[in-house]
Amino acid sequence: MCLSSAAFAGSAHKAKRRVATFSGHNAAKSTLRTEPLEKPSGDISIRAENLGEEVTVNIYKADGSFDEAALAKLDDLFRCTRTGEVRAVRPELYEQLSRIYDHFEKKQIFLVSGFRFAERNSSRHYHASAMDIRIPSVSINTMYAYAESLDQGGMGIGLYPTSQFIHVDFRAPGEPSYRWTDYSGHGGGGSSHKKSTSRTNPARKPTS
């Protein structure tokens, strides 16, 4: 049976409306990285889009330990843009950020969203262990694929085609790695969820 052009258009429109804005799944263990991760250079150059501020640091001291002053500068850049709250971001997230920076020829990374205090407490943003990022000259699909290659287990990696960024996080202890694609146009940090009374790690204090 042939459909009229109007009927066909209506049918196609209905089909289009059924497309899910979000799809996600646990990452198969067979897809996770089994080789040890090389230590990154520690270099990071990042600009917070919503703040108009940028930081260029190396997260390591000469002896290879974390430079608390450098981490504190990054923590401040990752602060909640709605409340101004600052929290100590998980250092391993900064190491992944440095690996991404190294891999993409040290092109400046743009931070869409970091720590979010005004967020549901199930969000890894609330626990200062997540970041939404982009590199203007690099496709998000390429960034997403590289981020996946860093996952040894316990990471969440999301693709946001409408808003053009990727999400990278460390899951709560014991949670499996997770992957998703979200077409909703989520802008990062725009949530109006009620504050929780629980707290994340307090902010680091710069040592210099």
14 belongs to a structural domain: no
Max CA-CA distance within the chain?
Answer: 76
In this structure, what CATH number is given to the domain that contains residue 123? 3.30.1380
Note the pLDDT tens digit of each residue in 34-51: 999 999 999 999 999 999
> Is the pLDDT score of 3 beyond 70?
no
pLDDT on residue 202: 80
- Specify the pLDDT at position 195: 32
Kindly state whether residue 92 falls inside one of the protein's structural domains: yes
81 inside domain: yes
pLDDT averaged over the chain? 87
Burial status of residue 197 (CB atoms within 10 A of its CB: 0-12, 13-18, 19 or more): exposed
- What are the Cα distances from residue 154, in Å, to 30, 33, 130, 169, 196? 13, 11, 12, 9, 24
Backbone phi and psi for residue 112, each to the nearest 5 degrees, phi listed first? -85, -40
Q: β-pairing, 43-48 with 109-113? A: parallel
Q: Give the pLDDT band of residue 203 (cuts 50, 70, 90).
A: confident
- Domain tally for the chain? 1
Instruction: Record the pTM.
Output: 0.83
Share of the chain above pLDDT 70, in %: 82
CA 165, CA 181: separation in Å to the nearest integer? 11
Structural domain containing residue 151: 40-182
Task: Indicate if the pLDDT at residue 156 is higher than 70.
Answer: yes
In a domain, 25, yes or no: no
- Reply yes or no on whether the pLDDT at 186 is more than 90: no
pLDDT 10s digits, 72-108: 999 999 999 999 999 999 999 999 999 999 999 999 9
**Looking at the domain assignment, is residue 199 inside a domain?**
no
29 part of a folded domain: no
Judge whether residue 197 has pLDDT over 50. Answer: no
Work out the percent of the chain whose per-residue pLDDT is above 90. 77
Long-range contacts of 117-120 (CB under 8 A, 24+ apart): 117/80, 117/82, 117/83, 117/85, 117/87, 117/195, 118/80, 118/82, 118/83, 118/191, 118/192, 118/193, 118/195, 119/191, 119/193, 120/191, 120/193, 120/196
Tell me the C-alpha distance between 105 and 205, whole Å: 31
Cβ partners under 8 Å of residue 62, min gap 6: none
In one-letter notation, the amino acid at residue 14 is K
The upper half-sphere exposure of residue 58, i.e. CA atoms within 13 Å in the direction of its Cβ, equals 10
Asked, for residue 113, whether it belongs to a domain, the answer is yes
With respect to residue 34, please indicate whether it lies within any of the assigned structural domains: no
Residue 180 banded pLDDT, cuts 50, 70, 90: very high
Mean pLDDT score, 180-199:
55
For residue 15, pLDDT over 70 is answered with no
Residue 21: how many other CB atoms lie within 10 Å: 11
Mean per-residue pLDDT, 141-146: 98
